[in-house]
A and B are shown apart, each in its own frame.
Chain A
Amino acid sequence: MSTVTTAAADRDDRSAGGGRPAHRGTGRRRPRFGRGIRGNEAMAGWLFVLPIVVILGVFLFLPILMAFWVSLTDWRGQGSPFKSGVPFVGTDNYTQLFAQDGLARRDFMTSIRNNFYYVLIVVPVQTALALGLALLVNNRMLKAKGFFRTAFYFPSVTSSVAISVVFLFMFANSGAINGILSWFGIDGPAWFSDSRGLIHLILGLFGVDSAPAALGNGGPLGLTWWEWLSGPSVALCAIMFLVIWTTSGTFMLMFLAALQSVPVSLDEASEIDGATRWQRVRYVTLPLLKPTMFLVLTLGLIGTWQVFDQIYVMSQGNPAKTTLTPAFLSYRTAFKDLDYGQGAAIAFVLFVIIIVLTLAQRWIMRDRDEPRRRFRWLR
């Protein structure tokens, strides 16, 4: 950074300030691009990044713009969406998701509810598990580290479709999970056909089986309060198990990399100061892991809001729409119902949700010790 600044300052001095006349009396006007041997650096820089700019532009940015256009139309998937005959509907596709009482809004809100519970449980649990595993395999006393690292990382490198299918067998009514539960005298649920929400089940234990009058009628955005407060369904919980198990390995690897760059001397110094094991983790290791923690939480947040393949393979939104997620709903609306405009609109709303949540998370995790950096995320 400092060298760059110096270079810039140099140039500034020569061209504008420092008391030196810019023209040196020659009377010739210096062209803007021809300032010394460093004058064309920016141009050269752009030339070097041009290939990737073009590739990202053609395959990422342009399709996003096209999708945005589709989300403003009622294109039904016949030929190009840029033809003159495609009906332009403005923000109808978006208002249907939020303002109009109908199936589209109900489905969308149900999917938001499901995904919200999913994120709420998966992100903290997978982060905690990944951190725990990383601390475990980073332990200097541990034998056969290589074996454990490989074992914990293995689920992450296996194809998610293959794992999903294996989980389908494990969670079948007469599958391994229910077999193990039956050893303890527990009659396991019919996992992938059980649409009861966890919170509803817990309330059921206290005798609240159906919606109390206060919650049963009315509620925001087309769902009743009782429906909003259902909690994740049993089927969704099975998918959560799977995702936590597969992704914690990847995140463990990130934590492990960060842990290995924590200087041993710090740890030893705190040990000499009389810190307990827990204090060392809490006050020495964790603060040093903060950037990694931010990375893991952000990736976790983005990944969980976009959950698709497990849903596609395992449940397709069933039972009773309790595993419907916005990403899957977007796919289904576009490719199954041929309502591409609505599908694209859902995708854009999901995009906004992810951006907003990531920014909010950045704001919460900002460094409070340095007030000057507070608004840096805005830039």
Chain B
Amino acid sequence: MRRALMRRRSSGFFGRGAAVAVLAAGTLLASAACGGDGFDDGGTAAQQTTGPASLQILIGSSGDAETTAVKDAAQAWATKSGNTATVTPAQDLTQQLGQSLAGDNPPDVFYVDAGRFADYASVGALEPYGDKVDNPGDFYQSLKDTFTFDGKFYCAPKDFSTLALEINTDLWTKAGLTDADIPTTWDQLTSAAQKLKAKGTMPLAIADTRDRVGAFLVQSGGWIVSKDGKQATADSAENVTALTYVQSLLKGGLASYPKALDAGWGGEAFGKGKAAMTIEGNWIKGAMTNDFPSIKYSVHELPAGPKGKGTLSFTNCWGIAAKSKFKEQAIDFVKAMTTVDQQMSFAKAFGVMPSRQSARDQYTSAFPADKAFIDGAEYAQGPVNAPKMDSVLADFDASLNGLAKGDPKALLGTLQKNTQANLGG
């Protein structure tokens, strides 16, 4: 009886309550609808062409030097053009950009990492303005290719870095090696490494990621995807050759991953003198001067493989949001940022290489030690230029971790399968 009463009462309570609950839910929906200007169908953003624009610029800064340099340059442009420009250094560029794009309120101008470029371009987040900057043909072709998607040159490369071979001079001479022994082919690399190993030095520190090991793929004439980025070519014979070679270095104790040398990256292992050689980009200069000033080293082009020279390039571009209200002004801003003079002053401020070929001579005369890096631009391969590839490549990195014990063919087979699934779908 008691039970029955309780049940009855509760059903009465909820019977009436239901009406109130529906009412409340209705209020919620209404309030959500009011709050969300995101319910409209957008289309192209209305452009403001007259009057001063206020540009929002989001950068993924490498440090204070870069932040200050970009802020100063933006300020100079703003004063000259009568607009305002606010430069914000991002804590986590990918995430912040993702959020603001989803919120329909992206910054007008932002850094786009080459590895992420296709993700943004494929969903229409970027304005394809590449050909509207002054003299677009002056950018290195490999960089232009990196920022071309579906045949459209999207955005102007900001600057770039390439990989080269750094050699610790002291350890090199201690092993009885001379300048004549500096390797220019894989075979020479192996023999020089063997001599270093005989003296008890770890010859080469190379990071276990496609961003380093990938250079061997290029030297061998292979790459993860075809030139147009539409086909997966990961399991090609060239790639197998390259990975088998890297594996032989690892197995023979001629090369080691930095973590095994108690270092976070190749430059740290190299700077601590734990390896006589490393393969890193021009960012290693800053680390060497700041953290390991006593180490003497020289920089050389990477040894050539069976199909000639090969290196990897890393770059950012000045992306302009397709939803920006100030596209005209944003393009004008990018023009100012990519002049030869401006690129040279960025290079001096935070050690990047200008993306314009016409700045090359100025750069090499200002930084003669960087010749090997800038020479790499001729034959450099950019990151994989296809959307949704990051998790696939992260998986490849994870498998490179076990390359010494693994089977290069199986490893590339998995990469091929995953890449194909991604490009197909």
Do chains A and B stick together as partners? Answer: yes
Find residues 50-100 in chain A having any chain B CB closer than 8 Å to their own CB: 50, 53-54, 57-58, 61-62, 76-85
For A193, the closest partner residue in chain B by CB is B259
For B28, the closest partner residue in chain A by CB is A57
Q: A33, A43, A54, A106: which contacts B28 (Cβ < 8 A)?
A: A54
For A329, the closest partner residue in chain B by CB is B391
Answer yes or no: A351 CB below 8 A from chain B CBs. no
Q: Is the CB of A62 within 8 A of B32?
A: yes
Answer yes or no: A195 CB below 8 A from chain B CBs. yes
Find residues 242-263 in chain B having any chain A CB closer than 8 Å to their own CB: 259-260, 262
Q: Is the CB of B102 within 8 A of A42?
A: no
Q: Is the CB of B259 within 8 A of A336?
A: no
B367 to chain A, nearest CB (A): 33
Answer yes or no: B359 CB below 8 A from chain A CBs. no
Q: B9, B25, B38: which contacts A79 (Cβ < 8 A)?
A: B38
- Please, how many angstroms separate the alpha-carbon atoms of A12 and B21 in the complex? 24
Q: Is the CB of B102 within 8 A of A79?
A: yes
Q: Is the CB of A338 within 8 A of B16?
A: no
B residues near A76, Cβ cutoff 8 Å? 122-123
- Please, how many angstroms separate the alpha-carbon atoms of A118 and B31 in the complex? 41
Answer yes or no: B82 CB below 8 A from chain A CBs. no
Interchain residue pairs with CB less than 8 A apart (27): A8-B9, A9-B5, A12-B8, A54-B28, A62-B29, A76-B122, A77-B123, A78-B125, A79-B102, A80-B38, A80-B42, A82-B39, A83-B38, A103-B391, A103-B392, A106-B395, A174-B262, A190-B259, A193-B259, A319-B259, A333-B391, A335-B98, A336-B94, A336-B95, A336-B98, A339-B388, A340-B102
A residues near B391, Cβ cutoff 8 Å? 103, 107, 332-333, 337
Residues in A lying within 8 Å of B, measured CB to CB:
5, 8-9, 11-12, 33, 42-43, 46, 50, 53-54, 57-58, 61-62, 76-85, 102-103, 106-107, 173-174, 190, 193, 195, 318-321, 332-340
Q: A5, A42, A319: which contacts B6 (Cβ < 8 A)?
A: A5
A102 to chain B, nearest CB (A): 5
B residues near A84, Cβ cutoff 8 Å? 41
Q: Is the CB of A78 within 8 A of B101?
A: yes
B residues near A57, Cβ cutoff 8 Å? 24-25, 28
Answer yes or no: B201 CB below 8 A from chain A CBs. no
Q: Is the CB of B42 within 8 A of A83?
A: yes
For B261, the closest partner residue in chain A by CB is A173
For B418, the closest partner residue in chain A by CB is A103
For A15, the closest partner residue in chain B by CB is B12
- Please, how many angstroms separate the alpha-carbon atoms of A137 and B280 in the complex? 55
Tell whether A320 pairs with B418 under 8 Å between CB atoms, given A78-B102, A335-B95, A338-B119: no
Q: Is the CB of A43 within 8 A of B16?
A: yes
A residues near B24, Cβ cutoff 8 Å? 50, 53-54, 57
B residues near A81, Cβ cutoff 8 Å? 102
Q: A103, A195, A332: which contacts B395 (Cβ < 8 A)?
A: A103
Answer yes or no: B36 CB below 8 A from chain A CBs. yes
Q: Is the CB of B41 within 8 A of A85?
A: yes
Tell whether A5 pairs with B28 under 8 Å between CB atoms, given A78-B124, A320-B401: no
Q: B5, B39, B401: which contacts A8 (Cβ < 8 A)?
A: B5
Q: B41, B119, B259, B398: which contacts A337 (Cβ < 8 A)?
A: B119
A residues near B323, Cβ cutoff 8 Å? 79
Q: Is the CB of A195 within 8 A of B401?
A: yes
Q: Is the CB of A77 within 8 A of B102?
A: yes
Q: Is the CB of B390 within 8 A of A337?
A: yes
Tell whether A190 pairs with B262 under 8 Å between CB atoms, given A83-B41, A102-B421, A321-B398: yes
A residues near B29, Cβ cutoff 8 Å? 62
B191 to chain A, nearest CB (A): 30
A residues near B176, Cβ cutoff 8 Å? none
Tell whether A338 pairs with B262 under 8 Å between CB atoms, given A79-B102, A321-B398: no
Q: B31, B38, B123, B388: which contacts A58 (Cβ < 8 A)?
A: B31
A285 to chain B, nearest CB (A): 35
For A336, the closest partner residue in chain B by CB is B94
A residues near B42, Cβ cutoff 8 Å? 79-80, 83
Q: Is the CB of B104 within 8 A of A43?
A: no
Q: Is the CB of B123 within 8 A of A338?
A: yes
Answer yes or no: B20 CB below 8 A from chain A CBs. yes
- Please, how many angstroms separate the alpha-carbon atoms of A76 and B125 in the complex? 10
Tell whether A320 pairs with B402 under 8 Å between CB atoms, given A76-B123, A335-B99: yes
- Please, how many angstroms separate the alpha-carbon atoms of A231 and B419 in the complex? 29
